[in-house]
């Protein structure tokens, strides 16, 4: 046995120890991170509290007729620092989708149809599955297209108005499908 083979034997033994160590470590330290979802923690609660405060601030602004102030509050919410950016928390994503929906509604009230549509588009990125949140966003999107059809009709652009109305009907039909899926899934869970 040469000196090189001796060194290789020692090296392989140490390498084996390391490999076994790394193999055991994840199984022994599996605690929270490998379970589904992040535990509800301080960061998530802080974000929810901030969202709640900004929603109520937007309420007061909206009640007083300050739509721009309400829009500003919602813009702050959708731009707020999000907890656990590496692992999306469903609550956070849904609250953001709802905030974008409200932002779209406020824009719609102000007659700002394109910003409203943009807010809906941003909100849909946070809810891919069929949920009340996605349904609500699509519903607002349908309302935006309905308002657009009315604007175009008032402007004498009958053809574009008809196309906008058609898009609105399609979106509202999609809302119906989404909500039916949600209800069906909810009933299935209750029954099962």
Partner 1 sequence: MSDRDDDRHEPDDLDPDAPATAEEVAASQRLRDALEGVSGASLDATPEVELALSLRAAWDPAPLSVDESRAVLDATPSADEQRLAAALRDALPRKHEPRTGDPDTAHLAQALRAAFSPKALGEAEHRAILDAALAKMPARVVAIGSARTRVIRVAFGVVTGGLALAASIVLVVTSAPPHGNEAPLAKARTTQPLFSEPFKPGETSARIDRIASARASDFRDNRFTKWGVR
- Of the candidates 120, 136, 146, 152, which one interacts with partner 1 according to CB under 8 A? 136
The verdict on 14 binding partner 1 (CB under 8 A) reads yes
In 10 A of CB 53, how many CB atoms? 13
The verdict on 155 binding partner 1 (CB under 8 A) reads no
Measured CA to CA, the distance from residue 192 to residue 190 in angstroms comes to 6
Which segment (28-36, 115-123, 144-152, 158-166) binds partner 1 by CB under 8 A? Answer: 28-36
The verdict on 29 binding partner 1 (CB under 8 A) reads yes
Pick 102 or 148: Cβ nearer partner 1: 102
- What does 54-102 look like in DSSP terms, one character per residue? HHHHHHHHHHTT-HHHHHHHHHHHHTSPPS-TTS--HHHHHHHHHHHHH
The verdict on 64 binding partner 1 (CB under 8 A) reads no
The verdict on 102 binding partner 1 (CB under 8 A) reads yes
The verdict on 31 binding partner 1 (CB under 8 A) reads yes
Measured CA to CA, the distance from residue 149 to residue 154 in angstroms comes to 9
Torsion of the alpha carbons at 156, 103, 137 and 129, rounded to the nearest 10: 150
The verdict on 69 binding partner 1 (CB under 8 A) reads no
What is the residue whose two structure tokens read 């589904």?
Answer: 36
The verdict on 6 binding partner 1 (CB under 8 A) reads yes
The verdict on 38 binding partner 1 (CB under 8 A) reads yes
Helices 42-63 and 90-109 pack at an angle, to 10 degrees, of 10
Burial of 64 (0-12, 13-18, 19+ CB in 10 A): exposed
Q: Which helix (H) or strand (E) holds 54?
A: helix 42-63
Which segment (9-17, 114-122, 149-157, 163-171) binds partner 1 by CB under 8 A? Answer: 9-17
Contact residues: partner 1, CB under 8 A: 1, 3, 6, 9-10, 13-14, 16-18, 20-21, 24-25, 28-29, 31-32, 35-42, 44-45, 48-49, 51-52, 55-56, 58-59, 89-92, 94-95, 98-99, 101-102, 105, 131-133, 135-136, 139, 179, 182, 186
């Amino acid at each position: 046995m040469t000196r090189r083979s001796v060194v290789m034997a020692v090296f392989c033994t140490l390498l084996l120890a390391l490999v076994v160590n790394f193999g055991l470590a994840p199984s022994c330290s599996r605690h929270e991170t490998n379970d589904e979802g992040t535990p509800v923690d301080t960061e998530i609660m802080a974000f929810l509290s901030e969202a709640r405060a900004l929603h109520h601030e937007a309420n007061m602004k909206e009640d007083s007729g300050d739509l721009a102030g309400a829009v500003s509050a919602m813009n702050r919410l959708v731009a707020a620092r999000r907890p656990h950016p590496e692992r999306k928390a469903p609550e956070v994503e849904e609250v953001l989708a709802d905030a974008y929906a409200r932002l779209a509604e406020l824009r719609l009230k102000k007659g700002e149809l394109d910003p409203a549509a943009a807010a809906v588009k941003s909100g849909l990125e946070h809810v891919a599955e069929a949920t009340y949140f996605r349904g609500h966003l699509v519903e607002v999107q349908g309302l935006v297209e309905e308002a657009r059809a009315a604007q175009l009709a008032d402007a004498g652009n009958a053809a574009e108005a008809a196309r906008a109305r058609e898009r609105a009907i399609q979106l509202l039909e999609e809302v119906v499908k989404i909500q039916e899926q949600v209800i069906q899934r909810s009933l299935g869970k209750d029954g099962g």
